[in-house]
Structure formats: structure tokens, C-alpha cells
Amino acid sequence: MQDSEAALKVQMLGGFNVTYKDKTVSFGRNNMAKSIQLFQIMMINMEKGIGKRTLVEALYGRDEVENGNSSLNNTIFRLRRQLETAGLPEDPYIEIKSGVCTWSKNIPVWIDVLEFEELVEKAEKTSDLNEKTSLYMRACALYRGEFLPIMIGEEWATVANVTYQEMYFKCLREVSELLKQQREYEKVYQLCTTAAQIYPFEEWQILRIDSLIAMNRYKEAMEVYEEATKMFFDELGLTPSKKMLERFQAMSGHIQLPVGSLTDIKEEIQEDCHEEGAYYCTFPSFIDNYRLVSRMMERNGISSFLMLCTLTDSTGRPLEKTEKTREVSERFQMAVRRSLRRGDLYTRYSPCQFLLLLSGTNQENCSVISRRIDKTFKEEGGGRNKIRYLVTSVVDMKEHEADRLSFSNVTWN
């Protein structure tokens, strides 16, 4: 059924909205009412109908199947009254024949999820690449969000939501590949930006970054990277993945700045003000600094140590990701800034872990530094929380050609 031909229009992707002859149909204040659920279930089963027993189970649960007939009849009656009160014509609306419930065909209905399914099905069947691309893009445009988000607690809605979500992801992957082959990178970027607003997964963020890189828009790509990695860390406690770091390296080498004098450049790169204590940087920047220090050691022989600090509770268990952990982490950062020198570097590795790069020191001094951090952490209000330290020499790391951070058995509590 075409949108323009239907008097009754139902949207269920990204929310729930019903209009009849362009006027909103109100079902009352209770959005979880059984009559509304009945209407929604009938809409997604418009084509073939739904078994009466299955419908009763979906609405009232398996335990109520025996008494479900009268309950269903009452719910159908209430729904009919609601629709007529909203301005729809008198009609049975739901017909029951041979144990199957079907929606009345007397009023043309357009339903977004059914058109979404139809567009995806047509796209999968056609061999014409231009038509396939167009159909997939139209399907993506219909997907405005999760299926009936307010109903996700209902089993029938959860099952439907997973089905439509998987269809959308497949659709998005297919059309992105087709558009990349056609060098339509702007369209890929727009589609994946919309997807990332609904599902901020790494897959869509990477496609956004790749699209911008393909269009030589490196500065915008870096902004997407920084926004995404910050969100992943703040919300999920995840550091940038290998794929994300690869994009970071690719972008870093292409960002172009205006031609400037040495004085201009110096003003641009120097710190805005003189700050005491250790210098904080993001994890990708920390990696670059670590590699630079490692190279410098080959020339000047200055020893450097890598220290992993894990925040724990009073029993020594690592803190779980909570709002309290965020507060404790902030207090720890203050302690680090106060305890270390300006030439030292630190970054946050996970919600409860920090990495410190200590230059021009030795292993004995690392113990002194850890005690100084402990003392300052208490002064900053660390409470009963503790810090577990693991330390390794940058030389040891280099000799073992470690692909990732590994530490010696030197531990201070």
C-alpha cells in the first residue's frame, strides 16, 4: 500500500504515531494499554494475520490462555471504541476465522515496517545495481529508530525489534558497499551518521571516518574519531580499537594547516599557560610519546619507566564502572598531577586504570613516586580506595618486543 493512497498511516520505527486522514489518532494516556498492543500486533501481522492463541499469549501471557478468549473480546471492543472515537468509521476492524485473527480490509493502511520489509525484499531480489541501491536507501530512510522503543519490555515487541534491527544493519552494510563502489562517499557518510545517532556502534563510526577520508576531509574525520572514542570510553570504558587507531594514524598524516611562520607555529603548539605537574594526553598520543621516548633512550641512555595504576576498593578488587568510579578517577588524576613532575606523562587506559610514563628515574624512585601518589590521593579524598601499581622499564619492554603492555612482577600496594 502506497503512503499517498492510505487514509490510515502507522509509524512504529523510532516511536509510535498513527494518523487518519492526516489527523493524529489518540489512544489515550496509557501507551502500554492492551488495546494499543493489540493494534500494534495486528499492524505487523497485516499480511497474513496471526493465530488467536498466539495473539492471546502475546497480550496476556501463556498462563492466561484458558481465560484469554473473553479478555481478547473485551480488548477488541475497547480498541474498536477508541478508533471510532478518534474519527475512524464504524467497522469490525478485527475478524476471527478458523482460529486466525486478521485486520479488516475496508480501510487502506500504510505501515512503515511493512514498507521497510518490502523495500529490503525487492532490493535483495533485483540484479539492477542502481535499483538495488535506490531501494536500500529508501529502506534506510524509513528506519528512524528502534521498533516501538516504549514496548521493548514486551516479548513480542523485543522479538520484532531484533528482526528489524538485523534487517537494517544488513541493509546499511549492503548499500554502503554499493555506494563506495560508485564513489558516492557523501551518501555513505550521511547514512552512517544517521545510523550512528541510533546505534553509536564502532562499525558505523568507522564507515563515517572512511567516507570522510575518501573525500579528503581529514579534519572532519578526526572530529568524528575524537567524538566516537570519547563516547566509547566515557560510556563503555573502551579504549580505541586497532581499527580505530589505524584510522587515527591515516588521518594524522594528512591534516593540512595553513602556511605560517615559525613564530606563528610556535604560538600554536605551545601550552596556553604554565601548569605544574604531569601532562595528561589521550591514549593515542600517549602511544606516540612512548615510542618517541623509547627511541630517545637509544641515543641518550636516560632511563624511563612505565607504571600501570589500577584503582581498587578497600579489599583490593578493581573498581567497577559506576558514577562513584568516575569521581574517584578524577581525584586520582588530581593526585597524579600534584605528585609528578612537568616532564612526566599520563593517560587513562580504562575506567579504573591509568598509565604513567616516568622519565629520568630508576626503579627505586618508582617506589617513592607510588608512595607520594598514595599520600596525595588520600589528601584529595580518595577515601578507603587503594591503588595497585605495576611497573616495568621501557628497556625491558623494548627487549621483549612487546606488542602490548606487559609488566614485571614489581608490585606496590
SS3 assignment for 266-312: HHHHCCCCCCCCCEECCHHHHHHHHHHHHHHHHHHCCCEEEEEEEEE
Residue tagged 626503579 (cell numbers):
363
Angle (nearest 5°) at CA 213 between 209 and 216: 145
Which residue type is seen at 406?
S
More confident: 134 or 400: 134
- Could you read off the pLDDT of 7-62 as tens digits, one per residue? 899 999 999 999 998 898 988 777 788 999 999 999 999 989 999 989 998 998 86
Query: What's residue 184's pLDDT?
Result: 96
pLDDT band at 406 (very low <50, low <70, confident <90, very high): very low
- 3-state DSSP call for residue 235? helix
**pLDDT mean across residues, the chain:** 85
Grid cell digits, residue 158:
523485543
What is the sign of the dihedral through the CA atoms of 248, 254, 258 and 260? positive
Pairing of strands 345-350, 386-393: unpaired
Residue 1 predicted with pLDDT over 70: no
Mean pLDDT of 174-197: 96
Share of the chain above pLDDT 70, in %: 86
Which residue type is seen at 69?
N
More confident: 351 or 266: 351
DSSP of 161-183: HHHHHHHHHHHHHHHHHHHHHTT
Residue 405 predicted with pLDDT over 80: no
Q: Backbone phi, then psi, for 245, in 5-degree steps?
A: -65, -35
Q: Per mean pLDDT, which range of 124-133, 196-205, 246-255, 329-338 is the poorest?
A: 246-255
Query: What's residue 221's pLDDT?
Result: 92
**355-389 residues labelled b (16+ CB within 10 A) or e (exposed):** bbbbbebeeeebeebbeebbebbeebebeebbbbb
pLDDT band at 264 (very low <50, low <70, confident <90, very high): low
CA distance 59 to 50: 12
Grid cell digits, residue 277:
605537574
Would the pTM of this model clear 0.75, i.e. be above it?
no
Q: Per mean pLDDT, which range of 4-8, 204-208, 289-293, 402-406 is the poorest?
A: 402-406
- Could you read off the pLDDT of 61-87 as tens digits, one per residue? 865 556 677 888 899 999 999 999 888
- Domains contained in the chain, CATH given: 1-128+138-174 (1.10.10.10), 183-252 (1.25.40), 276-412 (3.30.70.270)
Mean pLDDT of 340-368: 86
The 8-class DSSP code of residue 318 comes to: B
Residue 399 predicted with pLDDT over 60: no
Question: What number of other Cβ atoms are within 10 A of residue 130's Cβ?
Answer: 10
**Contact in structure between 78 and 35 (CB atoms under 8 Å):** yes
What is the phi-psi region of residue 371: left when phi exceeds 0, alpha when psi lies from -120 to 50, beta otherwise? alpha
